[in-house]
Structure 1
Amino acid sequence: MYTSTFADATPGRGRILISSSYALDGTPASDDRTRTAATFEVLDKYHLHTLQAKTTAYDFYAVLERLTDNTGIKPPNWYQVFLRMARQYRHLLMLKRAGRGHDPTGVWGTGAGELAVDCPVCPNPKVNLPEGWEDAAPGNQFLYVLFLALDACFWLKRRMVSSEIKDPGLGTRWAYVVENVPYRHFLQTVTNQKEMSTCSGLAALDYANTKFSRGYSTTGVGMGVCARHEFVQPNGVGDLQKGERFANMDYIFGSILRHKDPRVRKIISYDIVCQWWTYLLERLQTLPPLVRMTMILKLFRFVIPKMHIHSHTLDCQVKFSLNLVPGSGQTDGEGIERPWASIGAIATSTRTIGLPVLLWRRLDVARKEQASQREAFELFSVQQADRVPVWKKMVEDFEMDGDKKNPYQMEVGGLTEMDVRLKFVTEEAEEAKRGVPALHVVTPSAFINAGLMLEEQQRRVRVQAELKKAGTTAMEINMKTLCSKLNRGLDQFCKLQATYNPAALQALAARTAPPDELVEQTPLMLPSALLPAQREGGGCVAGLIDIENDMRAAQCRTTTLPRLRNQLHIKSRFLLYKKHNSRHQGMNTRSRTIVARNKTKIRLHSEKFQMAWEARLRIAGGDKSKVGWPKLKKEDIQCMQDRGGRRGGRERWRQR
């Protein structure tokens, strides 16, 4: 018989790490005739290399081959044998450290999640909570809140190269992974589930509906951790078969909560929580009995991690912000992203050793930050002393009952553009019923609306022309197409002006146009552009100026300003992402393209407001007090990342 030996290069120590023997007749090793072995030394080394140096099994095995023979002649391949032994050794280590060898029920008496390392700091009534914690005063309830974070990683894929029958797991329910059989059976009942998104920037839902799952038994991994200390939760890890579907995350969520005391308040952080939690109660009722639970909504709060929330709409940023949750402190909810950067659940279990130092460091930072924030808060309270009681009452009411008015949510009152159009269309329809003769098949409100739409087209052409001066041939073709469409619209609008606004035609005829004037610079001469004397005496149909005034007000109130604020929030997120993540030419080019597209939208919204504001000012005869809004200056249009804009224009507009 012959033997292949992997040697340890360390002098003076046992040299045999792995040896495998075959009989002369080629008979391999078997359970009753063991011919393959590995020392504890090599298995311990591989375990430590994996945890600390993040060395893969393949790379570690390659090192052993080099230590055996570095001439390029490969010894017999025992890689699969080594993988099996390493898995068995780690499995036995978990059982040993959990004391299962001394338990009367033995190994097979191990319960679900019993081998997982529980977080020693998170609130647990059986471990670290005092007597009577349930009756704590409202000001101390934040001490007994459990922060959980959910997320998925799509880098941890697995192709269809084996099966559970050929390669079964070792105690899959005893530590971090959910029970395979009930989990798989449940997922088979929700194969037609389709995730829908009504929020911008949710790439996770794109993964949920992806078609690129063919050939994979696992397209990713869903997981839950304690958001503050990053300990993977018992039975809190599950495979994803077709992206980050709600069904997978629902099961993982229920599997985690069955190990938690239902009396403890919980804050759940998830980057798509605005969509996920909407019908969560209904979906939880469809879970199998093993993980089904009853949720008391008053003990739960759903939030979006602080980094991810900037990619959501303003409505999400108000409803699901950690900054607005009492007792959350400076928790960012992004702790679950950090384990993905190492080697998943195994690395997190080693954090217990350094946890005291970490907590002391965070406590020191929190004390310094608290002093700074308290000083600023007290100064602000003195300056706004007459408003503080009202604000405080609103905040306290909202924190006690989430159904009360949200004091942090900005409300936009008044009619929208669509509401104003509907109002005038209804009035015109009633006039037609009364027999009032119509001047044209196109109604007065439709005439003004057509003018405003043409104005919007001119604005888009003008902004694109300025931002894309060095455009490609395709851009030039696109611009010429837009200009041709705009020319046809102007011709049709001039025909309507002869009926509703003849003074505009006279003003255009008397005007000397520059020889190089472009179609997007041609004035439309809406009623607001005419002098009062020009609008009188049949120069403009009666009531037309009021229609435009109301539509301009709707533009200022509900269209331009909210959208401008939203784009400034998005710009802030883009700039932060570019600063921290964009490297090299390719990524920087893509980032600049995205920022330029956002810049175009900001320019369009700001110019639309400015034109509407100037039109209302002309209608009001120059009286700014009748316009309803202050003038929007260029220096007002800034986000938090703009130089000099940290407390600049956007903050002033928010206060107004």
Structure 2
Amino acid sequence: MKRTRRHSISVIDTTTFSLEDDFYLADLGASDGAEKRQGKTVRPSDPALQEWALAYRNDFLRAMLSHDGRGGEDVDLCPRCNLADHNAVYRCEDCCSSQLVCKECCLETHGRLPLHTIQEWDDRQHYFNKTTLKRLGLRVQLGHHAADWRCPKPVAARSEVVVLHDNGIHMVAFDYCGCERAEPEYLQLLRSRFFPATVRRPQTCATFACLDRLNAFSLKPKTNTFDFYDTLERLTNGAGERPLDRYHMLLRMGREWRHLLLLKRGGRFGYQSNEAENTSLGELAVLCPACPRPGVNLPEKWEDAPSETNYIYSQVFAMDACFQLKRRMVSNEARDPSLGPGFAFMVEAGPYREFLRKSTNKQEMSTCSGLKALDHSNTKFSKGYAATGVGMVVCARHEFVQPTSVGDLQKGERFSNMDYLFASMLRHISQILRKVVSYDIVCQWYKNIFERLTQLPPFLKFVLYRRFTTFVVPKLHILGHIAECRSRFNLDLTSGGGQTDAEGIERAWAAAGGLSGSTKMMGPGARSDMLDAYWSFWNWTKVIGLPAILRQRLDAAKVELQKQLEAFELFSEEQDELVPTWRQMVLELRPTARRRIPMSRNTKARPKPRFDWSSAAREEKQEAEGRASLRVLDVGPVGFLEFAFAIERQQRRLEPKLL
């Protein structure tokens, strides 16, 4: 018998709004002739919007239309220079002032603003045409930043340079510095915040502001580069006339920009002994400031803490895989290598691939019901994909992605992949630090894990002490495990587990899922660099949000502590005789494969009741002869017992799920 699912009921706070608002006055289910109740005046959800629509909409419309014409500018002469032959027909869309000026004054005010959009008034057609500062004669001097910024020996660029800015795509005429000690052309562009697409004879560049926008939009709203470039084209010309195609160059510049941001924020300066090539594995990863790190945020002699409090010096890790972040068979690592292999979060592709090539591809067997990760560990929709997903390790308490702990999956969630990622992460963790490892299939994965770690490559071999390691299942996933798993791998029964649910990695997957639309068609190197940039952004958002979330958890813990203390003391008083025995059992608790946890229930299968089918046949014969026993609600004694046994079997199956 299945339980009836009840709909969730929200308690309505009637102090915040009237129960007679427009929702309740909709008369749902009322007859057509029923009169509406006369109640309080319905208030709009946005009073300012309604006020604008009723009283000010036309004023805004007229003000907008005035910018399509000359507006109040009815003087033909330039108001800045007042020269007789200087007509005021030019204005800038990006400057705050919409004043019309002459050509010379426009060039003078935009000498260092070459990427503003200029409009020219057509007196015969009575509308504005778009023009460019380059068309008006503006040349941008590079390599000189003093007050007298014109070079005495300027070297004109060989052709027009296409510049991508956050307001569109522009054609700019550059003059390079021709002095004796002049820097190369690409460096002169960089000094003026223009990022060249190539080093030799750059013909395309993007402003730092444009690349900043691209990076921000690709990380937070997950906008792909194609849509961003298409937006720049439409900002340049909304009538469908496309400028020169620079999409592939923007792809290259965006990838280089993200990589340089990682290096800069990781303390790489590009000077001697600090070049990008000398970056250590995982050095550019943003680390969790709250997790225990010896020598950083732990007191001296922390390892000598008593057993009652040493749980505070433990780090909780969560492992999982995401099959949404796939990658199709596009390019290869030889043609598209990563710019920073192993610098941050992604593992080095070469050693990782070599280890997987030598690993045995055996089918992992499951002794726990409902583990689909094992059922599809070698067949997770791999056809046509170079990577069927991504495996990862995070700190379970604060959801920070760990250094060199992210790697591609080839055929589902195999142990060989997860072993490599787990060991790669352990390289950055102290060996004597207590570790709690959470994994949704840990009941199968932890078996022989210590032996499997010894079979990893030498640079990954890590001494994992059994007495410092505890394996658990996340609190939501554990509900799908058998009763034995729910007692042996229960985070609630782990010392220091607290309110950690170990499901934070699922929240990381939910946030990163939007990247799949663009990363699945990338080459291996471009995808690796993109994921490194995203997880760096993810960790940084966690850093700036950590004070608020820790304060929120602390406030909630103080309230719950008082409640739980009162309940615990009351319970202990009522069970005073058994408390010492129970306390000793808990203090000596250490879950192992051979030891039963005292808090677990005895879930041994009860003998299935045998049903005597001969009694049912005899009852049917008696009914046919008219000698049947007394029936209640058309159910005989045998049918009643059969129904009761069926209910009992269903209750036994439901019992573990209700624990």
TM over 0.5: yes
CA contact (8 A) 2:165 2:206 kept: no
Instruction: Report the Cα offset of residue 98 of structure 1.
Output: 1.9
What is the 5 A alignment of 1:562-601? 564-570=651-657
Moved more, 321-330 or 285-294: 285-294
Q: Which residue of 1 aligns with 2:238?
A: 70
Instruction: Report the Cα offset of residue 395 of structure 1.
Output: 1.2
What is the 5 A alignment of 1:290-369? 290-343=459-512, 345-350=535-540, 351-369=542-560
Moved more, 273-282 or 170-179: 273-282
Measured in 2, the distance between the counterparts of 1:18 and 1:338 equals 48
2:574 to 361, 364, 383: 383
Q: Which residue of 1 aligns with 2:282?
A: 113
Change over 3 Å in CA distance of 1:410–1:18 after alignment to 2: farther
1:175 to 336, 344, 347: 344
Change over 3 Å in CA distance of 1:320–1:92 after alignment to 2: same
1:281 to 437, 445, 450: 450
Q: Which residue of 1 aligns with 2:226?
A: 58
Instruction: Report the Cα offset of residue 170 of structure 1.
Output: 0.9
Instruction: Report the Cα offset of residue 400 of structure 1.
Output: 8.6
Q: Residues 194-223 of structure 1: CA distance to partner in whole angstroms, max 9, x if unpaired? A: 122222222222332326211100110001
1:251 to 409, 416, 420: 420
- Does 1:9 find its partner at 2:167? yes
What is the 5 A alignment of 1:101-500? 101=269, 104-190=273-359, 192-210=361-379, 212-343=381-512, 345-350=535-540, 351-399=542-590, 404-412=595-603, 416-417=607-608, 451-452=611-612, 454=613
CA contact (8 A) 2:322 2:389 kept: yes
Matched residue SS, 1:151:
strand
- Does 1:100 find its partner at 2:258? no
Measured in 2, the distance between the counterparts of 1:316 and 1:17 equals 67
2:651 partner letter: L
What is the 5 A alignment of 1:545-556? none
Measured in 1, the distance between the counterparts of 2:330 and 2:403 equals 28
Measured in 2, the distance between the counterparts of 1:18 and 1:316 equals 70
What is the 5 A alignment of 1:21-60? 31-60=199-228
Change over 3 Å in CA distance of 1:270–1:400 after alignment to 2: closer
CA contact (8 A) 2:197 2:249 kept: no
1:278 partner letter: K
Measured in 2, the distance between the counterparts of 1:83 and 1:414 equals 61
2:547 partner letter: P
Measured in 2, the distance between the counterparts of 1:197 and 1:241 equals 20
Q: Residues 266-309 of structure 1: CA distance to partner in whole angstroms, max 9, x if unpaired? A: 00111111111122122222211121223211111111111111
2:451 partner letter: E
CA contact (8 A) 2:438 2:471 kept: yes
Measured in 1, the distance between the counterparts of 2:375 and 2:228 equals 36
CA contact (8 A) 1:177 1:234 kept: yes
Q: Which residue of 2 aligns with 1:478?
A: none
Measured in 1, the distance between the counterparts of 2:581 and 2:500 equals 28
Change over 3 Å in CA distance of 1:18–1:561 after alignment to 2: farther
Matched residue SS, 2:263:
helix
Structure 1: runs of 5+ lacking an equivalent: 20-27, 418-447, 455-489, 498-502, 530-554, 571-638, 640-649, 651-656
Instruction: Report the Cα offset of residue 513 of structure 1.
Output: 7.1
Change over 3 Å in CA distance of 1:514–1:161 after alignment to 2: farther
Measured in 2, the distance between the counterparts of 1:118 and 1:16 equals 43
Q: Residues 142-172 of structure 1: CA distance to partner in whole angstroms, max 9, x if unpaired? A: 1100111111111101100111111111112
Change over 3 Å in CA distance of 1:341–1:76 after alignment to 2: farther
How many pairs were matched up? Answer: 457
Measured in 2, the distance between the counterparts of 1:400 and 1:291 equals 28
Q: Which residue of 2 aligns with 1:86?
A: 254
Measured in 2, the distance between the counterparts of 1:219 and 1:144 equals 36
Instruction: Report the Cα offset of residue 72 of structure 1.
Output: 2.4
Change over 3 Å in CA distance of 1:56–1:191 after alignment to 2: farther
Matched residue SS, 1:234:
coil
Instruction: Report the Cα offset of residue 339 of structure 1.
Output: 1.4
Matched residue SS, 1:267:
strand
CA contact (8 A) 1:51 1:346 kept: no
Measured in 2, the distance between the counterparts of 1:346 and 1:261 equals 22
Change over 3 Å in CA distance of 1:328–1:402 after alignment to 2: farther
Change over 3 Å in CA distance of 1:150–1:414 after alignment to 2: closer
TM-score, reference length from structure 1 = 0.63
1:292 partner letter: K
CA contact (8 A) 2:630 2:636 kept: no
Measured in 1, the distance between the counterparts of 2:630 and 2:216 equals 78
Instruction: Report the Cα offset of residue 58 of structure 1.
Output: 2.7
Measured in 2, the distance between the counterparts of 1:333 and 1:370 equals 21
Change over 3 Å in CA distance of 1:325–1:35 after alignment to 2: same
Matched residue SS, 2:250:
helix
Change over 3 Å in CA distance of 1:17–1:82 after alignment to 2: farther
TM-score, reference length from structure 2 = 0.63
Instruction: Report the Cα offset of residue 36 of structure 1.
Output: 2.3
Root-mean-square deviation (CA), in Å? Answer: 3.6
Change over 3 Å in CA distance of 1:18–1:362 after alignment to 2: farther
- Does 1:511 find its partner at 2:630? no
Q: Residues 20-49 of structure 1: CA distance to partner in whole angstroms, max 9, x if unpaired? A: xxxxxxxx9865332221111111111222
CA contact (8 A) 1:7 1:17 kept: no
Measured in 2, the distance between the counterparts of 1:362 and 1:299 equals 26
1:385 partner letter: D
Measured in 2, the distance between the counterparts of 1:396 and 1:8 equals 63
Matched residue SS, 1:175:
coil
Measured in 1, the distance between the counterparts of 2:364 and 2:593 equals 26
Q: Residues 553-584 of structure 1: CA distance to partner in whole angstroms, max 9, x if unpaired? A: xx99xx987973542454xxxxxxxxxxxxxx
1:376 partner letter: A
Matched residue SS, 2:501:
coil
CA contact (8 A) 2:487 2:600 kept: yes
Q: Which residue of 2 aligns with 1:609?
A: none
CA contact (8 A) 1:322 1:328 kept: yes
Change over 3 Å in CA distance of 1:29–1:266 after alignment to 2: closer
